[in-house]
């Protein structure tokens, strides 16, 4: 006796689904969307609704395939037009993502915020930006948490304000050119002095005067309003000004706020840290030819080759390896020896940071 196999022919399997959920009037509504399309729709990149929604049907539970009741739709939305309801859920609903995907988004946004902070800030002592690894370290020290509902730029400005309370960091100045009539030039210079702007150059041509200067970005809106009132013109030459060239002690002679003793102590601490790490870490360039032919061991924590077995054991005792272990527990990427040196310098001088005034 033959047996027939019964298969569901009216069942539609939804694959590659991103669920957007909205709770209204105590009732949960869901729509099925394609992954990576919801954020594109909300940012205005994707315009075709069919490329975002798998189907213009409102569900009570997408994973179980339970459709929302018409009575519930009218109660919550005042209509049973599922196309309009899908648009509202798509705009106001909460995107459901997996744990790893959410962690990846947070990590990516955290890196974006740190990059913006690095581009917009400088060390007031050296007039140079901090490295991205040092910015991330400082953000962890102030216990910064990413808010996925706010833009990276807005959160970066909040991070800068918070960092200025604890560390020597400030906004990098903007470089502007202002062109105003000669009769208004005196009032313009008085205002620039109140903003502590650094004048780079001045020029007069005909009945107009121009000045190139650097100032704190916080005064930009006030400066723009002033130029409009003075019937002038404003040009942005650089959004962020950093000092160019190599970091030599001779370059800092023009800064009155840095004493020679401070520079000497900073250089001495760098030299000591360099010697300490070089003693604890190994160099593959030394030794006889027989040692070079020996098997090279690799440290996965530091992502570096550290030599033979003896050197490998010594590496585990070094500050470089211990520092990367602490970063690994916080799910941060490993640092090179040079980046580790900068982080250790920051840690060793942390006690002296309280003496600085911002």
Kind of pairing, strands 170-171 and 121-122? antiparallel
Question: With 80 as the cut, is the pLDDT of residue 329 above it?
Answer: no
| Secondary-structure percent of the chain, ordered helix, strand, coil, rounded to 5 | 45, 20, 35
Chain centroid to CA 237: 24
| 94-96: strand order across its sheet | 66-67, 59-61, 27-34, 17-24, 94-96
pTM of the model: 0.47
Return the pLDDT at 328. Answer: 80
Sorting pLDDT into bands at 50, 70 and 90, what band is 218? confident
Sorting pLDDT into bands at 50, 70 and 90, what band is 356? very low
Question: With 70 as the cut, is the pLDDT of residue 29 above it?
Answer: yes
Say which range, 36-45, 93-102, 201-210, 295-304, has the weakest mean pLDDT: 93-102
Question: With 50 as the cut, is the pLDDT of residue 91 above it?
Answer: yes
Pick from 282, 253, 249, 254: which is nearest to 266 by CA? Answer: 249
Sorting pLDDT into bands at 50, 70 and 90, what band is 14? low
Which residues, 6+ apart, have CB-to-CB distance to 133 below 8 Å? 335, 339, 342, 343
Return the pLDDT at 30. Answer: 92
State pLDDT tens for residues 150-186.
888 888 888 988 888 888 888 888 888 888 888 888 8
Sorting pLDDT into bands at 50, 70 and 90, what band is 17? confident
State pLDDT tens for residues 42-68.
888 888 888 888 888 899 888 888 899
Provide, rounded to the nearest whole percent, the portion of the chain with pLDDT above 90: 2
State pLDDT tens for residues 238-294.
877 776 544 443 443 443 444 444 445 545 555 555 566 565 554 444 444 444 445
Q: How far is residue 135's CA from residue 114's CA, in Å, rounded to a whole number?
A: 6
- Among 83-92, 118-127, 332-341, the range of highest mean pLDDT: 83-92
Q: Average pLDDT in the 138-145 region? A: 88
Which position has the higher pLDDT, 96 or 52?
52
Q: How many residues does the chain have?
A: 358
Pair 29, 84: CB distance under 8 Å: no
Question: With 60 as the cut, is the pLDDT of residue 352 above it?
Answer: no
Helix axes 132-141, 337-348, angle to 10 degrees: 40
Pair 94, 20: CB distance under 8 Å: yes
Q: Average pLDDT in the 307-319 region? A: 80
Return the pLDDT at 184. Answer: 83
């Amino acid at each position: 006796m033959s047996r027939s196999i019964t298969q569901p022919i009216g069942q539609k399997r939804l694959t590659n689904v991103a669920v957007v959920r909205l709770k209204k009037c105590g009732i949960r509504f869901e729509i099925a969307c394609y992954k990576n399309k919801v954020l594109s729709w909300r940012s205005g990149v994707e315009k075709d609704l069919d490329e975002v929604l798998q189907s213009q049907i409102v569900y009570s539970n997408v994973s179980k395939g339970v459709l929302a009741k018409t009575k519930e739709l009218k109660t919550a939305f005042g209509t049973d037009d599922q196309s309009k309801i899908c648009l509202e859920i798509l705009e106001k609903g909460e995107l459901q993502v997996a744990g790893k995907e959410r962690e990846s988004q947070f990590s990516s946004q955290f890196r974006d915020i740190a990059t913006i902070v690095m581009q917009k800030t400088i060390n007031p002592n050296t007039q140079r930006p901090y490295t991205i690894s040092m910015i991330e370290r400082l953000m962890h020290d102030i216990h910064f948490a990413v808010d996925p509902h706010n833009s990276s730029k807005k959160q970066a400005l909040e991070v800068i304000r918070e960092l200025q309370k604890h560390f020597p960091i400030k906004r990098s100045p903007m470089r502007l050119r202002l062109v105003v009539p000669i009769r208004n030039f005196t009032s313009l210079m008085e205002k620039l002095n109140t903003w502590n702007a650094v004048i780079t150059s001045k020029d007069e041509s005909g009945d107009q005067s121009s000045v190139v200067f650097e100032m704190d970005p916080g005064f930009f809106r006030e400066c723009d309003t002033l130029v409009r009132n003075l019937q002038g013109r404003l040009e942005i030459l650089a959004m962020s000004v950093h000092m160019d060239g190599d970091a030599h002690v001779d370059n800092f002679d023009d800064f009155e706020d840095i004493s020679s003793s401070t520079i000497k102590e900073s250089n001495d601490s760098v030299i000591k840290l360099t010697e300490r790490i070089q003693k604890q870490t190994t160099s593959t360039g030394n030794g006889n030819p027989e040692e070079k032919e020996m098997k090279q061991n690799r440290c996965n924590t530091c992502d570096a080759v550290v030599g033979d077995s003896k050197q490998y054991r010594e590496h585990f005792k070094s500050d470089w390896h211990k520092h990367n272990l602490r970063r690994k527990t916080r799910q941060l990427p490993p640092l090179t020896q040079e980046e580790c040196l900068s982080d250790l310098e920051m840690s060793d001088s942390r006690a002296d940071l309280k003496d600085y005034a911002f």
